[in-house]
Amino acid sequence: MPQFLISPEQIAGKKFTLKGPEAFHVTRVLRHRVGATLELFDGQGGRYSGVIRAILPDGTVEGDLAGLLHPPHKKYPVVIRLHLGLIKASHWEWALEKCAELGVSAFIPVITPRTVVQVKEFTGKKEERWKKILTAACKQCGRADIPAILPPVHFRDAIKEATRKDLSLVAWENHPGASTYAGLRDILREARHRHPQGLTVNLFIGPEGGFSDEEIEISEVDGAALVSLGPNTLRSETAAVAASAIVLYELGAL
């Protein structure tokens, strides 16, 4: 059953009011009528079952909340903050969609020396487009929350901030020469042991040209772990999806 986004302000006690494009989809596209059951989510973690009680002349849907839909229990809570180097818009949007479906919590565009995309391409109207992509992905996969998209940040600043308190992983295609390299599985197992209540993982994926040697050195100095995603060199968006899936799987959250 599809789910529909409703803002918290449209929920009052056991009543809900659905307006705009979501209401249009319910009444004009799916042609639901009074008495139909809907699945609703507020984008902040809440999912509800609702029943349509009235459809107003302007298309507004009013109804009663029949219950709270509880998501499947996760044995180990994981928050992934994906720091992705600026890449071509179409590739970035594909990564947004797929990583949102997997469960990434936040997306941070990262500026690096090898970035070929201008920062201005990641501001303004495109932010609204990305929010729509994330919303559609969450509706499709059944997520109750919508990932955040944070402002672009330079790699040097991002890695320093990330390593202060959380686990930071830097995917690097030339990892065998890295002095701090250890198996990704071992790193995650150790981190889970040290943080039994849950873990935040800052995942760094480079742009099309990869990370520079200087950025790798900075990562090591700041305490990030250099990891491999296998013997093949992956595109940035592919690496983002693969790394997110691996981390979630190894930590028991997928």
Question: Model confidence over 8-21: pLDDT tens digits?
Answer: 899 998 999 999 99
pLDDT on residue 89: 87
Question: End of a domain among 17, 37, 68?
Answer: 68
pTM for the full predicted model: 0.86
Report the DSSP pairing between strands 61-68 and 47-55.
antiparallel
Percent of the chain's residues with pLDDT above 70 = 92
Q: Is the pLDDT of residue 121 over 80?
A: no
- For residue 93, pLDDT over 60 is answered with yes
Q: Are 64 and 108 within one domain?
A: no
CB atoms under 10 Å from CB of 59, counted, come to 15
Question: Quick one: average pLDDT of 48-63?
Answer: 93
Closest CA to 241 of 132, 144, 101, 131: 101
In a domain, residue 73? The reply is: no
Q: CA 236, CA 91: separation in Å to the nearest integer?
A: 8
Q: Which domain holds residue 13?
A: 3-68
Is there a single domain that holds both residue 98 and residue 178? yes
- Tally of structural domains, the chain: 2
Q: What is the pLDDT of residues 180-202, one digit of tens each?
A: 445 788 899 999 999 988 999 99
Q: Count H helices and E strands in the chain, helices first.
A: 7, 13
Residues 200 and 167 in one domain: yes
Q: Which residue has the higher pLDDT, 83 or 69?
A: 83
Taking 50 as the threshold, does the pLDDT of residue 84 lie above it?
yes
Predicted local confidence at residue 73, as pLDDT? 57
Mean pLDDT confidence for 162-190: 79
5 φ/ψ angles, rounded to the nearest 5 degrees:
-80, 130
> Does 39 reside within a domain?
yes
Q: Is the pLDDT of residue 56 over 80?
A: yes
Residue 105 contacts residue 148 (beta carbons within 8 Å): yes
User: Domain check: are 37 and 134 in the same one?
Assistant: no
Residues 159 and 242 in one domain: yes
Q: What are phi and psi of 65, to 5 degrees?
A: -80, 120
pLDDT at 65 over 70: yes
Is the per-residue pLDDT at 54 higher than 70? yes
For the chain, the average pLDDT equals 88
Query: Are 147 and 226 members of one domain?
Result: yes
Tokens 């090591």 belong to which residue?
A: 220
What is the mean predicted confidence (pLDDT) over 122-141? 84
Angle at 78 between CA 73 and CA 81, to 5 degrees: 140
Torsion sign over Cα 188, 190, 195, 201: negative
Q: What are phi and psi of 137, to 5 degrees?
A: -65, -40
What's the confidence (pLDDT) of residue 32?
A: 92
